[in-house]
Every structure is written in structure tokens, then in C-alpha cells.
């Protein structure tokens, strides 16, 4: 399969909003690189269906320009990438990363060269899936997940919606959750997450399936129903998608449980709209973490 790489530079002050717009459409690969007063965004889409997604990106980009006029038009440099080239491009931006108080995210190609010390190594090969821990939205979700699972007397079931590389699901398993149910709309991400779970020795605790939160609510995959609703549900997507699927996420989380939401651009209209929807549902934000213009919430699901 061939992939198309899109590269575009944006002013640093608009980078978070631009990244959020791209991530509403791109669910396979994304990276950014700070370059002084600008940020270079790289996004990857499969060649199949590229034109439609490119058009949708243009629509979202116009919304960004309404808020940040300094952002140029949607005219990224586009070039074809073979799968192995895509993987090498990722490696250039992916280094061991301490997250929270206990985790160390380690690229699979460096696992034998890194001493994790007292931290728990989380070995990861992103493949064609989003989620390496390098992006603030993933780090914030990992930190809130760690806080929620810390000091629990017994393992609790966790649901990860939009698992991508499986990083959040695997972290939950390494931090003591059991079982961990992970779902992603992209079958390629499902394969990547399964491989990463196996590489971390938690494939007996992490179950991965293709689908959406709505599909899981309607008809859970075989063997999942007994563990639902989950004690903790985590979703690192975008505010707009989270707002659309909020009812499903709440339904899939047990009363008194926790909902961890990330991928939220601070001060963005979509984020404010999501917060209003959460309040209307009786969800209380117990913890709010921010970094690099992004934020994540840990909410209490009412009894």
C-alpha cells in the first residue's frame, strides 16, 4: 500500500488548532516539528480515498483560518511514501519518553538499548497508527489514566475508544487494569495495537476489536459484555468527535466510574461545546490537565 504524506507549516500560535483540525480527518499518522516561530505538521493518509479526505481537511482548515488569519491556505506539499519510508519518518521523531510518575514510553527499535530504571517500560511501534506519547494529548491522557488507576485495591476493567497504536490500553494493563478492552475504527490500527500488546506481554489482558463506541454499545464483541460497563473509559480523539459520541461513552462507563477525555484544544469552541454537553449530562470534571495548548479531563460519571 502507498501512503501520501502532507507537509504544511503554520505559525506556532495556531499549531494546536491546526493539529486538531487535521486529526479530525487523519487517523493513521501524524507528527509535528517545532521550527522556531513555526510548526511543521506532517500527516499521512492512504492513497485509497485520499481525495475525499483531502477535501474534508480543506474544509476544516478554513475554520482554523477564520480564527487565525495568519495561517495560509490549505496547500500542503504532498508526496507518495512507501510503508517502509513512512515508518522511517516516524523513527526520526520518536525517542524514549518518561510520562507521569511510573511509565517510560520506549520505541521498539530501542528497547534493548534503554535502561528504564524504576519506571515501567511501555514498548511501542506506532506502525501506521496514531499514538506515540510524544504528542501532548497522548501524554495528558496517560497521566490522568495513571492517576485514576493508582492505589486501586483490585484490577478494574478499562475501555479505550479510538485506541490507535494501543498506547493507552497497554498503559492501563501495565498499571494493573484487567481486562482492557480497546476499539478502533481502523482495522490497521487494530493489528498494530495487538502487536504492541504482545510486545509488552499484556496480550492476555488487552482485547482489541474493530469498531466504534456506538457499535460496542449496540453489540459488544464476543466476551466483552460481561466486563461492560467499564470502571474507566478513556478516549483521546477530538472534541467534536467526543461530543458526538458522549452518550455512548457514558453508557459504556459504570455509574461512579471515571471518563478520561483527551485531544481537546484549550479555548477552542469545540472544547467549550463539549464541556457544556458534559455538564448537561451531569458529568463533573474532577481533574483538568493542560500542556502545549491541549487539555485532558478526568470526569466522574454520576451514580
At 260-282, the pLDDT tens digits run 999 888 878 889 999 999 999 99
For the chain, the straight-line distance linking the first and the last C-alpha, in angstroms and rounded, comes to 48
CA atoms within 13 Å, Cβ hemisphere of 156: 20
CATH hierarchy code of domain 2-91: 3.30.70.600
Domain parsing of the chain, residue ranges: 2-91, 97-300
Alpha-carbon separation of residue 8 from 33, 71, 113, 266 (angstroms): 11, 10, 34, 22
* φ/ψ of residue 234, rounded to 5: -125, 140
Q: Around Cβ 218, how many Cβ atoms within 10 Å?
A: 10
Please say whether the beta carbons of 41 and 19 come within 8 A.
Answer: yes
pLDDT for 128 beyond 70:
no
Predicted confidence (pLDDT) at residue 24 exceeds the cutoff of 60 = yes
Closest CA to 236 of 19, 6, 18, 59: 19
Strands lying side by side in the sheet with 120-124? 97-99, 103-107, 120-124
Q: Are 68 and 28 spatial neighbours (Cβ–Cβ below 8 Å)?
A: no
Burial class (CB in 10 A: 0-12, 13-18, 19+), 55: exposed
* Residue 298 contacts residue 152 (beta carbons within 8 Å): no
- pLDDT digit string, tens, across residues 64-113: 898 888 999 999 999 987 766 655 665 666 678 898 899 998 887 777 77
Residue with cell 466476551: 223
Instruction: Answer yes or no: pTM beyond 0.85.
Output: no
Lowest mean pLDDT among 135-144, 174-183, 271-280: 135-144
**How far is it, in rounded angstroms, from Cα 23 to Cα 26?**
5
Q: CB of 177 within 8 A of CB of 149?
A: yes
Domain 97-300: CATH class, spelled out: alpha beta
Identify the pLDDT of residue 85.
Answer: 66
For residues 19-48, give the mean pLDDT. Answer: 80
Amino acid at each position: 500500500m502507498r501512503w501520501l504524506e502532507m507537509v504544511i507549516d503554520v505559525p506556532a500560535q495556531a499549531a494546536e488548532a491546526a493539529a486538531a483540525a487535521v486529526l479530525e480527518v487523519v487517523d493513521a499518522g501524524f507528527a509535528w516539528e517545532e521550527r522556531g516561530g513555526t510548526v511543521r505538521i506532517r500527516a499521512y493518509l492512504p492513497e485509497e480515498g485520499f481525495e475525499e479526505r483531502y477535501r474534508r481537511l480543506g474544509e476544516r482548515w478554513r475554520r482554523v483560518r477564520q480564527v487565525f488569519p495568519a495561517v495560509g491556505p490549505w496547500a500542503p506539499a504532498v508526496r507518495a511514501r512507501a510503508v517502509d519510508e513512512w515508518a522511517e519518518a516516524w523513527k526520526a521523531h520518536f525517542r524514549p519518553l518518561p510520562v507521569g510518575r511510573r511509565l517510560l514510553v520506549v520505541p521498539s527499535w530501542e528497547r534493548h538499548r534503554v535502561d528504564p530504571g524504576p519506571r515501567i517500560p511501555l514498548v511501542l511501534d506506532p506502525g501506521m497508527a496514531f499514538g506515540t506519547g510524544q504528542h501532548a494529548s497522548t501524554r495528558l491522557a496517560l497521566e490522568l489514566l495513571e492517576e485514576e488507576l493508582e492505589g486501586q485495591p483490585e484490577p478494574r476493567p478499562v475501555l479505550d475508544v479510538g485506541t490507535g497504536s494501543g498506547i493507552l490500553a497497554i498503559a492501563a494493563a501495565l498499571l494493573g487494569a484487567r481486562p482492557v478492552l480497546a476499539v478502533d475504527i481502523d482495522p490497521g490500527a487494530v493489528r498494530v495495537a495487538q502487536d504492541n500488546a504482545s510486545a509488552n506481554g499484556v496480550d492476555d489482558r488487552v482485547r482489541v476489536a474493530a469498531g466504534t463506541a456506538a457499535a460496542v454499545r449496540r453489540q459488544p464483541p464476543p466476551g466483552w459484555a460481561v466486563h461492560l460497563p467499564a470502571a474507566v473509559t478513556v478516549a483521546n480523539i477530538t472534541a467534536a468527535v467526543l461530543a458526538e459520541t458522549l452518550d455512548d461513552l457514558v453508557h459504556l462507563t459504570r455509574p461512579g466510574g471515571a471518563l478520561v477525555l483527551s485531544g481537546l484544544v484549550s479555548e477552542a469552541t469545540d472544547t467549550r461545546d463539549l464541556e457544556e454537553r458534559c455538564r448537561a449530562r451531569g458529568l463533573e470534571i474532577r481533574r483538568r490537565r493542560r500542556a502545549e495548548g491541549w487539555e485532558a479531563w478526568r470526569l466522574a460519571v454520576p451514580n
